[in-house]
């Protein structure tokens, strides 16, 4: 069909009336609620499809009708119990509908809109390039999403990777791995405060592909007192120390501050104070939202990297005390530093006293309360994407640079290969590729994020150690636990002030850790993660698993740099 100008104008009017109303018609005479839901779908879907074709004809990426379409269908289908035949979508969205159960109205509306967008993109003459939003928190454990209702909803509506890990549990090396797709021994930044060559990383890759790129927050720990803007970033607002010798905030080193911080804003120092309006998570979220709005009609990469929940955790005023009644954290592994199955540096660490434990409990609450502002920030970004009509064509990634201990194994920081330290949250929402919610159990790593984003953007990369996880959310790889997907990965942690350097490998069942003390032989740990998920029973000296131990040693040797 060929459209003249008059026909297009008529189409826009129809789109406004059918998909733009917040008040879909009620059931007609003799019409059931399920029939009303079906009628709304049948009316809105073709009109929305044609409005998106008009957007394409006009060269628009964003859809002004997208929010209205979702509201229209959601309201028409809310509270509807599915009959044997209705509603029907003729799409993958039928999987959301179960006869005799209430229709998930919001999920159905979003799924329908995403599949319509997907069909249009598949038929387009040029390849689709999605927008990308990456939210990267600092020291957030994988088991904290229950305290973040927006991110938790994102996980239920998108793709949640339940086995996501980092390959180094330390800020700078882990972030360098995330941006480059390389293990630390290959990108060369193995400790904090170490300069990293980022000329061949995610931002330059996407910039070369025509993306606007914006960074807001903590980049790494090697940007102290610097106005340097790394290559590839068109908008740069990153934590730094001020130009004098005074640290930017107590205990923060300028790089993880909530108040009293300095930002390097596109090469200029800008200082912020201690007013509530200066709370860094909120400031950075506002800047990221502005960047998205300005670049809505072109592909963009926006990275929001707040200080939270890194210590010294300082919640926003609106969230202080909201979790004051939270029960103490006391897993079976809590305070087991004196166990003979742990390495010497942990056994030599002082046992927890009452005052220490009380401070640890208070610190945990403060960390979780800082995540409430991050959750608000995620909500504001999602709302902006929805308002602009670009939510379906945006790859949204939420993760952290590594985890941390809350007293497990007698430790309260990171730089270990235990689950608390290397597990991270990873939630992905990419509606045009994954319109239905998914839970994936494959082992996915921080080194997979850059190649995945580049894969989605059609951008060329350098050599990487990671791999794209997009085939997983496309359903091209079956994660049924039968050996498909990644079978093993390497963990490499440098020594800290107290911590000893350690390397490890993790499979789906086994973890082998080798701690490298300053003198004497290496200390070995082996855990059967299926039988012992809290890593309480070190089997390294168990003769019953001698062959497994030998095999794990050999695999580790093959992954370490020669």
Any residues with CB less than 8 A from the CB of 334 and at least 6 apart, and which? 406, 407, 408
Contact 173, 189 (CB under 8 A): yes
Q: What is the mean pLDDT of residues 540-550?
A: 97
Picking from 127, 28, 39, 123, the residue whose alpha carbon sits closest to that of residue 88 is 39
What pLDDT, on a 0 to 100 scale, did the predictor assign at position 475? Answer: 73
For residue 91, what pLDDT band results from cuts at 50, 70 and 90? confident
CA distance 343 to 139: 23
Give the integer Cα–Cα distance in Å for 184 and 466: 12
pLDDT of residue 480: 45
* Integer Rg of the chain from CA: 25
Confidence at residue 336, expressed as pLDDT on a 0 to 100 scale: 75
User: How does residue 11 score in pLDDT terms, banded at 50, 70 and 90?
Assistant: very low
pLDDT digits (tens, 9 = 90+) for 345-404: 887 666 778 899 999 999 999 999 999 999 999 999 999 999 999 999 999 999 999 999
For residue range 124-182, list pLDDT tens digits in order.
767 789 999 999 999 999 999 999 999 999 999 999 999 999 999 999 999 999 999 99
Task: Report, as an integer, the average pLDDT of 412-424.
Answer: 97
Q: How far apart are CA 41 and CA 294, in angstroms?
A: 32
Dist CA 243 CA 247 (whole Å): 9
CA atoms of 20 and 7, how far apart (whole Å): 19
Q: What mean pLDDT is predicted for residues 1-14? A: 40
Question: Which residues lie closer than 8 Å to 454 by C-beta, 6 or more apart?
Answer: 202, 205, 206, 460, 461, 468
Residue 407 pLDDT more than 70? yes
Residue 26: per-residue pLDDT: 55
- Residue 460 confidence (pLDDT) above 90: yes
- Decide: 204 and 231 in contact? Cβ < 8 Å: yes
Q: What's residue 250's pLDDT?
A: 53
Separation CA 184–CA 187 (nearest Å): 5
Half-sphere exposure of 300 (CA within 13 A, CB side): 26
Average pLDDT over residues 51-56: 90
pLDDT band at 22 (very low <50, low <70, confident <90, very high): low
The CA-atom distances, in angstroms, between 281 and each of 142, 206, 372 are 20, 25, 10
Cα 148 versus chain centre, distance:
13
User: Average pLDDT in the 21-47 region?
Assistant: 80
Residue, of 112 and 21, whose pLDDT is higher: 112
Give the DSSP letter of residue 196. Answer: -
The residue among 5 and 77 whose pLDDT is bigger is 77
| Distance of alpha carbon 334 from alpha carbon 352, whole angstroms | 10
Q: Is the pLDDT confidence value at 123 over 90?
A: no
Kindly report, residue by residue over 513-544, the tens digit of the pLDDT: 999 877 778 999 999 999 999 999 999 999 99
Please report which confidence band the pLDDT of residue 7 belongs to, taking 50, 70 and 90 as the band edges: very low
User: Domains (ranges, CATH) in the chain?
Assistant: 5-123 (no CATH), 131-477 (3.40.720.10), 489-559 (3.30.1120.10)
Which residues face 265 on adjacent strands?
A: 237, 268
Among the residue ranges 94-98, 289-293, 478-482, 485-489, the one predicted with the least confidence is 478-482
| 10-14, 300-304, 452-456, 472-476, range with the lowest pLDDT | 10-14
Q: Which residues contact 500 (CB under 8 A, 6 or more apart)?
A: 343, 344, 345, 515, 516, 517, 518
Residue pair 87/24 in contact (Cβ under 8 Å)? The answer is no
Contact 501, 495 (CB under 8 A): yes
Helices (H) and strands (E) in the chain, counts: 15, 14
Distances (CA, A) of 271 to 40, 246, 264: 52, 12, 9
At residue 28, the pLDDT reads 58
């Amino acid at each position: 069909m060929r459209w003249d100008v008059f026909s297009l104008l008529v189409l826009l009017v129809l789109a406004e009336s059918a998909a733009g109303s917040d008040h879909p018609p009620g059931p007609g005479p003799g019409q059931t609620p399920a029939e009303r839901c079906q009628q709304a779908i049948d009316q809105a879907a073709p009109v929305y499809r044609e409005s998106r074709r008009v957007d394409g004809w006009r060269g628009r990426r964003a859809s002004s009708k997208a929010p209205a379409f979702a509201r229209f269908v959601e309201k028409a289908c809310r509270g509807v119990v599915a009959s044997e035949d209705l509603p029907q979508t003729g799409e993958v969205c039928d999987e959301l509908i179960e006869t005799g159960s209430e229709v998930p109205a919001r999920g159905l509306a979003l799924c329908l809109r995403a599949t319509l967008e997907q069909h249009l993109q598949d038929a387009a003459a040029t390849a689709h390039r999605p927008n990308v939003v990456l939210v990267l928190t600092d020291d957030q454990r994988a088991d904290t999403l229950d305290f973040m209702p927006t991110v938790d909803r994102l996980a239920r509506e998108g793709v949640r990777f339940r086995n996501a890990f980092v390959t180094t549990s330390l800020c700078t090396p882990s972030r360098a791995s995330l941006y480059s797709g390389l293990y630390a021994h290959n990108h060369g930044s193995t400790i904090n405060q170490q300069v990293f060559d980022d000329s061949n990383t995610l931002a330059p890759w996407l910039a070369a592909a025509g993306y606007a790129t914006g960074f807001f927050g903590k980049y790494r720990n090697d940007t102290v007192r610097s106005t340097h803007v790394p290559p590839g970033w068109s908008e740069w607002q990153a934590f730094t120390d001020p130009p004098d010798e005074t640290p930017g905030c107590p205990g923060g080193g300028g790089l993880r501050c909530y108040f009293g911080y300095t930002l390097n804003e596109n090469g200029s120092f800008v200082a912020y104070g201690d007013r509530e309006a200066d709370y860094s998570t909120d400031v950075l979220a506002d800047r990221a939202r502005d960047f998205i709005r300005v670049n809505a009609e072109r592909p963009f990469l926006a990275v929001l990297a707040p200080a939270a929940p890194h210590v010294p955790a300082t919640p926003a005023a609106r969230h202080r005390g909201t979790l004051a009644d939270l029960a103490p954290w006391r897993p079976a592994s809590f305070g087991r530093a004196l166990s003979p199955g742990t390495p010497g540096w942990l056994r030599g660490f002082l046992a927890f006293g009452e005052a220490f434990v009380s401070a640890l409990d208070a610190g945990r609450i403060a960390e979780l309360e800082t995540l409430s502002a991050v959750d608000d920030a995620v909500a504001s970004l999602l709302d902006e994407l929805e308002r602009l009509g670009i939510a379906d064509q945006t790859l949204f990634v939420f993760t952290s640079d590594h985890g941390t201990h809350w007293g497990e194994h007698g430790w309260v920081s990171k730089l270990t290969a235990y689950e608390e330290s290397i597990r991270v949250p990873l939630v992905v929402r990419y509606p045009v590729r994954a319109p239905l919610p998914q839970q994936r159990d494959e082992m996915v790593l921080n080194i997979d994020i850059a190649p995945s984003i580049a894969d989605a953007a059609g951008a060329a990369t350098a050599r990487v150690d990671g791999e794209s996880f997009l085939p997983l959310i496309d359903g091209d790889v079956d994660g049924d636990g039968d050996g498909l997907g990644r079978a093993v990965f390497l963990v490499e942690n440098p020594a800290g002030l107290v911590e000893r350097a350690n390397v490890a490998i993790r499979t789906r069942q086994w973890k082998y850790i080798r701690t490298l003390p300053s003198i004497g032989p290496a200390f070995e740990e082996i855990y059967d993660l299926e039988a012992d998920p809290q890593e309480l029973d070190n089997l390294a000296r168990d003769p019953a698993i001698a062959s497994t131990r030998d095999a794990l040693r050999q695999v580790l040797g093959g992954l370490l740099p020669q």
